[in-house]
């Protein structure tokens, strides 16, 4: 069976996350020890005891979600479940790069801390964001209609193509306010503000891209050992060199998740597991395929039911 691991990104975090996996599996405890060693942080305290507000800050969110993603991956592998392909949503792409053999756990854990700190710093320092930033999910309107309505509005962008009738817009607070008004007038069924701390996947974070590209320039990105699909292109990543380039571009580029799902299905995926907290990607997958069910792993209880 052609199975794929899908890794979630920011927004999936919650207080107390991963504690049940830590308590049950030595392989997860080992990963937490590695994580504390390579990052110099007490990550058990962040994940197990951090508040929702603590975990919302991107400098904390990125390491917390990545550590849980990789913990559940370890738990699945220890229980005999492996994958033939992989992809990750936004931040989750870095977990997918571990699954694809492009990066190691020891590389990724400090990398996502640096990525989160860079993005948080740029979001605070960019004069264009002095009035704040915002993201919102637009429900009940095609991605094409969202894009055409947002186009031309200053500092507002279509950022995540989640499902055929769900697109996230991102930008300055003023830009998203203007876009929201226009999209409601154009017939969007619902527009849901998201709890985020930056205008992710927009050119407003171009400085973050530059700083992150400099940071990863000296790190080794190996060629993938299995198919991995890029957020930036929606297609397979062909080499380690391409993976490094796309890792920088991803910060300012829209997430082409609908295209990723379509390509996975056309290339023969038969089983999908959401490897991480929450069920966001499971929901997106329902729009892509009624025949192939995406299974969840947010808790030990859910994960133990997978076969």
Q: Which of 51-60, 158-167, 267-276 has the lowest mean pLDDT?
A: 51-60
Q: What is the pLDDT, as a whole number, of residue 196?
A: 79
Mean pLDDT to the nearest integer, 134-151: 97
Residue 217 a catalytic site member: no
Q: Which residues, including other chains, have CB under 8 Å from residue 247's CB and lie 6 or more apart?
A: 93, 94, 97, 212, 216, 221
User: What pLDDT, in 10s, does the model give residues 68-111?
Assistant: 999 999 999 999 999 999 999 999 999 999 999 999 999 999 99
Residue 247 a catalytic site member: no
Which token pair is 16? 């107390």
Instruction: Decide if pLDDT at 1 tops 70.
Output: no
The closest alpha carbon to 271, from 288, 297, 289, 292, belongs to 292
Query: All domains of the chain, ordered by start, with CATH?
Result: 3-125+203-303 (3.40.366.10), 128-193 (3.30.70.250)
Catalytic residue among 85, 170, 197, 201: 201
Residue 1, SS3 per DSSP: coil
Q: Which residues, including other chains, have CB under 8 Å from residue 37's CB and lie 6 or more apart?
A: none
User: What pLDDT, in 10s, does the model give residues 231-246?
Assistant: 999 999 999 999 999 9
Question: Which residues, listed in sequence order, are joined to residue 236 by a DSSP beta bridge?
Answer: 229
DSSP state of 218: T
What is the chain's length? 307
80: left (phi over 0), alpha (psi -120 to 50) or beta: left
214: left (phi over 0), alpha (psi -120 to 50) or beta: alpha
Catalytic residue among 4, 85, 90, 197: 90
Cα–Cα distance measured from residue 156 to residue 170, given in angstroms and rounded to the nearest whole number: 6
């Amino acid at each position: 069976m052609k199975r794929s691991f899908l890794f979630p990104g920011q927004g999936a975090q919650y207080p107390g996350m991963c504690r049940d996996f830590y308590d049950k599996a030595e392989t997860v405890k080992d990963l937490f020890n590695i994580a504390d060693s390579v990052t110099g942080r007490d990550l058990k305290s962040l994940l197990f005891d951090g508040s929702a507000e603590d975990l919302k800050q991107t400098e904390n969110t990125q390491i917390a979600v990545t550590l849980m993603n990789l913990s559940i991956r370890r738990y699945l592998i220890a229980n005999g479940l492996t994958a033939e392909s992989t992809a990750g949503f936004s931040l989750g792409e870095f977990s997918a790069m571990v699954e694809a053999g492009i990066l190691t756990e020891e590389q990724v854990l400090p990398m996502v801390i640096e990525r989160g700190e860079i993005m948080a710093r740029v979001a605070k320092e960019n004069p264009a964001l002095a009035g704040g930033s915002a993201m919102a999910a637009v429900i009940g309107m095609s991605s094409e209609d969202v894009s055409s309505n947002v186009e031309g509005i200053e500092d507002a962008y279509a950022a995540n193509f989640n499902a055929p009738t769900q697109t996230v817009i991102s930008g300055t607070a003023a830009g998203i306010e203007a876009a929201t008004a226009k999209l409601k007038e154009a017939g969007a069924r619902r527009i849901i503000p998201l709890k985020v701390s930056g205008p992710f996947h927009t050119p407003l974070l171009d400085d973050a891209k530059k700083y992150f590209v400099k940071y990863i320039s000296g790190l080794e990105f190996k060629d993938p050992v299995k198919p991995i699909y890029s957020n930036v292109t929606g297609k397979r990543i062909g080499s380690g060199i391409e993976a490094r380039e796309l890792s920088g571009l991803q910060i300012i580029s829209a997430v082409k998740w609908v295209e990723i799902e379509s390509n996975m299905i056309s290339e023969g995926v038969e089983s999908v597991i959401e490897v991480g907290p929450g069920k966001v990607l499971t929901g997106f997958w329902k729009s892509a395929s009624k025949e192939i069910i995406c299974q969840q792993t947010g808790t030990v209880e859910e994960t133990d039911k997978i076969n």
